Amino acid sequence: MNSFLNILVRRLVTMAFSNRRSKMLTFIMAVILAALGTFNILNKPAATARPVQHEAPGENYALTGRVVRVADGDTFTLLVDGRQQRIRMASIDAPETTKDSQQPGQPMAQASKKSLADMIAGQTLSLICFEHDQFGRNVCDVPLGDGSTANQKQVAAGMAWANMEGRGKYMRDAKIPELEQHARQAKLGLWQEPNPIRPWVWRYQCWKKGQC
């Protein structure tokens, strides 16, 4: 269409100049030139705006599988669709188990591990997960059939602390600090000791600084 109009315009220009008295041809030429300009404008590709990139907010996700291993009082392995997923329980921190001679365990570590194993080992569970930690583990709440979570029960039994490391930046469940207070007052589990060392302090002072 554009090429046809260009040819037509050239012919009309020639005719107009050969017959200066032909006002009608001049008028027609002006109309066609205007039409040609409009056609070009309408067919000019529109500038494409670059989409604004927004970082999607973090969303919870679910994992359903069978518990195949309990590592300690707040960590276990879930078999999901044939693949093993490491789970770090959210909002709590259990006594550290012995890793090697340079990283000895804490008192109550084995009792805490047994408490969690008795609760969830071999069961098929649906977890509510929030993120992956620096070790690639899924950070999750572990709902149980009675409406509570294994996270809550570990703390309520004195088998783990409410994880208040970093002024509570890892706390996901507002009920857990209160459960710790009840366990402390009742001297349950690790609270039988007068001043049990919090795991995040143990990891720093004992494992990192060697001040066990």
137 as an active site residue: the answer is yes
What is the widest separation between alpha-carbon atoms in the chain?
115
**How does DSSP assign 7-41, residue by residue?**
HHHHHHHHHHHH-TT-HHHHHHHHHHHHHHHHHHH
Measured distance CA(112)–CA(11) in Å, rounded: 96
Alpha carbon distances (Å) from 103 to 69, 110, 202: 21, 15, 10
CA atoms within 13 A of residue 89's CA, in its CB half-sphere: 29
Rounded to 10 deg, the angle between the 2-18 and 23-43 helix axes is 160
Catalytic entry in 10, 96, 184, 198: 96
To the query of whether residue 96 is one of the catalytic residues in this protein, the response is yes
Structure tokens at 93: 């921190």
Residues 77 and 86: their CA atoms lie apart, in Å, by 5
Answer whether 23's CB lies under 8 Å from 17's CB: no
Q: Could you say which of 59, 88, 172, 178 is catalytic?
A: 88
88 catalytic residue (yes or no): yes
Options 137, 172, 180, 198, the catalytic residue: 137
Catalytic residues: 88, 96, 137
